[in-house]
């Protein structure tokens, strides 16, 4: 049986994140819209990229903040051991 754990990362400037676990939750915790691979994520919103079982998610998430007023993107990744 697999053990599940999560790791969170916070970003405050444009960057890339390469999935290295299973499910990925992207949460805009700032005051700016975030462009993630062409999708606009407004403040307070989140999206989840789910996997099946302990499948590996190796998606490349490229993101940039539309303005620079309090940018903050939290990425939470689910891992299996």
Number of domains within the chain: 1
Collapsed DSSP state (helix, strand, coil) of residue 51: coil
pLDDT in tens, the chain (81 residues): 679 999 999 999 999 999 999 999 999 999 999 999 999 999 999 999 999 877 899 999 999 999 888 999 999 999 988
Phi (first) and psi of residue 8, to 5 degrees = -110, 145
Can you give the CATH number for the domain in which 32 is found?
2.60.120.10
Nearest to 24 by CA among 64, 62, 51, 55: 51
Please tell me the predicted confidence (pLDDT) of residue 55.
Answer: 87
Please tell me the predicted confidence (pLDDT) of residue 53.
Answer: 75
What residue numbers bound the domain in which 56 lies? Answer: 4-80
Residue 37, CA distances (Å) to 4, 17, 64 in order = 27, 11, 9
Reported pTM = 0.91
Distance CA(51)–CA(40), nearest Å, equals 22
């Amino acid at each position: 049986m697999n053990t599940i754990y999560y790791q969170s990362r916070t970003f405050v400037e444009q960057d890339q994140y390469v999935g290295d676990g299973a499910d990925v939750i992207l949460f805009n915790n700032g005051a700016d819209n975030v462009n993630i691979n062409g999708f606009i994520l407004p403040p307070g919103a989140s999206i989840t990229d789910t996997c099946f079982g302990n499948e590996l998610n190796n998606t490349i998430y490229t993101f940039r903040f539309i303005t620079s007023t309090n940018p903050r993107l939290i990425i939470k990744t689910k891992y299996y051991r």
